[in-house]
Amino acid sequence: MTAAGTQRRRGWWRSNVIALLALVLIVPGTVFVVLGLPALAVADRTVTPIRVAANEPVSAQGFTWELTTSKAFVGTGSDRTKNQVPVGTSLIAALITVTPTSTSAAAADSYTSCDYALTSRSDPSVGERSWSSVLSLSDFNYNRADDTTAYCDLSSNEPFELEVVFLAPSTVYSDATVDVTLDGATTRVLRFSLVRDQ
């Protein structure tokens, strides 16, 4: 090796030291942004549900919530004489009474709506499964009661009865719950047990 070669190598390190230092700082920072921030966001959104027994009222966000009744309508098929619910599934309906409390006006400012899902944890190998509400109930010959609603609107300070309906496998009713998620500055989840005496 010659003296000129050694100088050339030392010259390369000296001329690229800033780029190497930038790499040393940028690579870990990029890894944190790509992997760390999403993990922190998920951890921040993780909410422990508040378990509520059927026919037991619970106060949350300025309202009293109570699942008063629920029922599974087992599918008999799509023949004209049947209920139009596919065999092996059930329509699962639940009524939740929502009543404003004295602090509802302040709470309604931060919580204007809620969402709901049917959840089941019956199979540990699968984990938690959930089903969204059925949008077109007429497809299953199901009619919502006139004095109930499918929309959870907390902006008005009026009591209402929420009627939620889900299409799920027939086997899930015995251990399913209705999870009501209150979205706002903080997220709260009310996990209602269904009425089991069917």
- CATH number of the domain that 170 lies in? 2.60.40.1240
Specify the pLDDT at position 70.
93
**Are 84 and 105 contained in the same domain?**
yes
Specify the pLDDT at position 49.
85
Expressed as residue numbers, the domain containing 8 is 1-46
- Give the residues of the chain that fall short of pLDDT 50: none
**Are 8 and 96 contained in the same domain?**
no
| Cβ-proximal residues to 177 (8 Å cutoff; 6+ apart), any chain | 118, 119, 120, 191, 192, 193, 194
pTM: 0.70
Return the CA Rg of the chain.
27
In a domain, 185, yes or no: yes
**Are 5 and 93 contained in the same domain?**
no
**Are 56 and 117 contained in the same domain?**
yes
Give per-residue pLDDT as tens, 65-117. Answer: 999 999 999 888 877 777 788 889 999 999 999 998 865 555 555 666 788 99
Specify the pLDDT at position 50.
86
**Are 60 and 73 contained in the same domain?**
yes
In a domain, 198, yes or no: no
For residue 74, count CB atoms less than 10 angstroms from its CB and return exposed for 0-12, middle for 13-18, buried for 19 or more: middle
Domains held by the chain: number: 2
